[in-house]
Amino acid sequence: MSLGLTSTGLEVPEPVAAQLRQDDVAARLVRKDATLWGPDAENEAAIRLGWLDLPASSRSLVTQLAQLRSELVAEGLDRVVLCGMGGSSLAPEVICRTAGVPLVVLDTTDPGQVADALTDLARTVVVISSKSGGTVETDSQRRAFLAAFAEAGLDEQAIGSRFVVVTDPGSPLAETAAAMGARAVFLADPTVGGRYSALSAFGLVPSALAGADVAALVDDAEELAERLADPGSAAMELGIALGAAFRTGRDKLALAEAGETPVQGFGDWAEQLIAESTGKEGRGILPVVLESPEAPGGSAPDVLLALVGAQAPAPGPSIGVTGPLGAQFLGWEYATAVAGRILGINPFDQPNVTESKENTQAILGAGLPDEQPMATIGAVEIRATRGLLDGVDLSSHDGLSLAMDALLAAVPTRGYLAVMAYLDRVRDARAGELRAALARRIEHAVTFGWGPRFLHSTGQYHKGGPQVGVFLQVTGAYGPDLPVPDQPYTFGTLQAAQAAGDRKALADRDRPLLHLHLTDRAAGIGQLLTILR
């Protein structure tokens, strides 16, 4: 079965489709024509179209990975931990959840969540994935695992045998991997950007080592790849639907999985692909990941609902994208590139993500800002951007509720509310319920992201997209902190610096932000969910 697209109630302006046919976009895209997105995007596009070749070029990985997995299993190394951010970990998480095989994805700096990953070492092999080799979260996690294996008594050679590395040729991590004596190093195609790398070594290596059938992924992608030159392919129709929705005022895409054999967690992967590809130059498509097709936020005048794994539900406007996971990855990548042309942006760069990273480094150097709370109610410390809580009586019994009302009232027409939780997405999973609870309170789109993971996904959209976002940042006290070996900071200070760095980037854009710091995470989350009931 290949990729299929159905749509209900979606108005597609005829010129959108006709123009793409007239410009021969389908044939030019599969020929990797870098001029498709205009002169400003040409240099970047020229080195970012390798994802079209992956169904063929990844084939050779399949056998090699089967061999490596059997070696690891024979040595009792059947717990795979993946350290990677954004495009270096989102696809393997979807692949393994859908295949029902265990993979520990460590894409956080939360001290508790990192500490939980540093256990069960006797069975553990660690995949360190980073295209650039310069991502601070991944580097910190690598350092922590090196130290943990040493503390467990492994000698240098044994420690090296517990690491598999995926990176770009010539990256700092490629050198580090050699110096570490890593068991295997996979050098990925440098002409594939992170969010387009699902079918590359970044998607396949961790997934295969965890036991997923990556041969089927490649087969299903290859079957679609043979159709992509056809202007009527389902992938092209998906790109037209995304672009047409944007052109007709539906610039938010609600994503939910459905159907008999639903892909698990697809929205979290598609979120980075779409937000980081389109959210720039003051425009873009905002993905809104829904807990289910019926979850609040799937229908509003500025929203298009997309079901992954099922037909488009009536009355719409909605689309349904069916097909196996390998075809979904390739199809959505192709559609995003087409939508980028319709929106008139470069879908391959991420100009605004470095800002938060630079802010974080500056704060790590200068020390965390000492911002006293405006009030503390129960387990919740309240801080906010200037003016947001003017006139709000925080000393009253329902001060927290009033503060939340002020935040919701600040969301402008066609705006959105983004919840950003710098917490432990396993132990503090209940915080994820905040999205639906807030979405039931306002007509606007409400998104949820675990920090710092979202900084590598929707973070680009928050800073480069339309400046109509309002932000709820939730941070939390943590138990024992964890050092980052040979670095002048701990995981706890790194996490706090990342949150502060993003607050600065948003404050510099005068975006309203409410910062709730939970002095007791479970109690604080309980308080928030109670007032939102």
| Choices 52-60, 73-81, 124-132, 147-155; region in contact with ligand F6P by CB under 6 A | 124-132
Between 172 and 369, CB nearer to ligand F6P: 172
130 contributes a contact to ligand F6P by CB under 6 A: yes
94 binds ligand F6P (CB under 6 A): no
Q: Which of 260, 235, 272, 222 is nearest to 450 (CA)?
A: 272
- Binding span for ligand F6P by CB under 6 A among 82-90, 224-232, 359-367, 427-435: 82-90
CA–CA separation, 78 vs 74, rounded Å? 9
CA distance 530 to 533: 5
Closer residue to ligand F6P in complex, CB, 168/237 = 168
Which residue in the block uniquely carries the two structure tokens 């605004």? 352
Q: In this structure, what are the phi and psi dihedrals at residue 127, rounded to the nearest 5 degrees? A: -100, 120
Burial 49-79, CB ≥16 within 10 A → b, else e: bbbbbbbebbeebbeebeebbeebeeeebbb
Closest approach of ligand F6P to the CB of residue 110, in Å: 18
Residue with smaller CB distance to ligand F6P, 97 or 195: 195
Give the whole-angstrom CA distance, residue 141 versus residue 117: 10
Q: How many CA atoms lie within 13 A of 21 on its CB side?
A: 10
Q: Which is nearer to ligand F6P, 350 or 490 (CB)?
A: 350
Q: Which helix (H) or strand (E) holds 126?
A: strand 124-130
Among 97, 131, 162, 227, the residue binding ligand F6P under the rule CB under 6 A is: 131
From 11-19, 81-89, 154-162, 365-373, give the range in contact with ligand F6P by CB under 6 A: 81-89
CA distance 114 to 125: 15
Beta strand pairing status for 416-422 and 380-384?
unpaired
| 92 near ligand F6P (CB under 6 A) | no
Q: Which two tokens stand for residue 251?
A: 């610039």
Shortest Cβ distance from residue 89 to ligand F6P (Å)?
8
Q: Is 48 in the site for ligand F6P (CB under 6 A)?
A: no
Nearer to ligand F6P, 130 or 161 (CB): 130
Q: Which is nearer to ligand F6P, 415 or 451 (CB)?
A: 451
Q: Supply the minimum distance, in Å, between the C-beta of residue 173 and ligand F6P.
A: 8
Residue with Cβ nearer ligand F6P (202 or 334) = 202
Where in 354-451 does DSSP place strands (E)? Answer: 375-377, 380-384, 416-422, 445-450
Q: Give how far Cα 198 sits from Cα of 188, 285, 333, 389, Å.
A: 11, 20, 9, 43
From residue 192 to residue 211, the character string flagging contacts with ligand F6P as x (rule: CB under 6 A) and all else as - is --xx----------------
Calculated CA dihedral for residues 436, 442, 447, 451, nearest 10 degrees: -90
Q: Which is nearer to ligand F6P, 169 or 387 (CB)?
A: 169
278 binds ligand F6P (CB under 6 A): no
**According to the binding rule CB under 6 A, does residue 87 interact with ligand F6P?**
yes
Instruction: Give the nearer residue to ligand F6P in terms of CB position, either 129 or 527.
Output: 129
Asked if residue 88 binds ligand F6P (CB under 6 A), the reply is yes
Does position 135 interact with ligand F6P (CB under 6 A)? The reply is yes
Question: DSSP of 504-520, one letter per residue?
Answer: HHHHTTT--EEEEEESS
Q: Which stretch binds ligand F6P (CB under 6 A): 80-88, 244-252, 330-338, 490-498?
A: 80-88
Q: Verify cis geometry, omega within 30 degrees of 0, for the bond prior to 512.
A: no
Number of residues that bind ligand F6P (CB under 6 A): 15
Strand partners, 322: 4
Question: What ranges in 302-398 are assigned the alpha helix state H?
Answer: 325-343, 353-366
224: left (phi over 0), alpha (psi -120 to 50) or beta: alpha
50 counts as binding ligand F6P under rule CB under 6 A = no
Name the minimum Å distance from CB 183 to ligand F6P: 20
Residues 447-486 binding ligand F6P (CB under 6 A) are 456
Question: Is 287 among the residues that bind ligand F6P (CB under 6 A)?
Answer: no
350 belongs to the binding site for ligand F6P (CB under 6 A): yes
Using the rule CB under 6 A, give the single segment among 12-20, 31-39, 84-92, 364-372 that binds ligand F6P.
84-92
The residue behind tokens 């520990």 is 104
Residue 425 engages ligand F6P in binding (rule: CB under 6 A) = no
The verdict on 138 binding ligand F6P (CB under 6 A) reads yes
Among 105, 353, 474, 497, binds ligand F6P (CB under 6 A): 353
Q: How far is the CB of 163 from ligand F6P (least distance, A)?
A: 16
Q: Which residues contact 141 (CB under 8 A, 6 or more apart)?
A: 83, 106, 114, 117, 128
Task: State whether residue 105 is helix, strand or coil.
Answer: strand
Q: Binding ligand F6P by CB under 6 A: which of 85, 99, 217, 494?
A: 85
Nearer to ligand F6P, 471 or 478 (CB): 471
Which candidate, 438, 405, 51, places its Cα nearest to that of 228? 51
Interface with ligand F6P (CB under 6 A), residue from 132, 261, 361, 530: 132
Question: How many residues are recorded in the chain?
Answer: 533
Q: Which residue is nearest to ligand F6P (CB)?
A: 194
Taking only Cα atoms into account, the Rg of the chain, rounded to an integer number of angstroms, comes to: 23
- Looking at the Cβ atoms of 267 and 323, the one nearer to ligand F6P is 267
Q: What are phi and psi of 405, to 5 degrees?
A: -60, -40
Nearer to ligand F6P, 456 or 511 (CB): 456
- Positions that interact with ligand F6P (CB under 6 A): 85-88, 130-132, 135, 138, 194-195, 276, 350, 353, 456
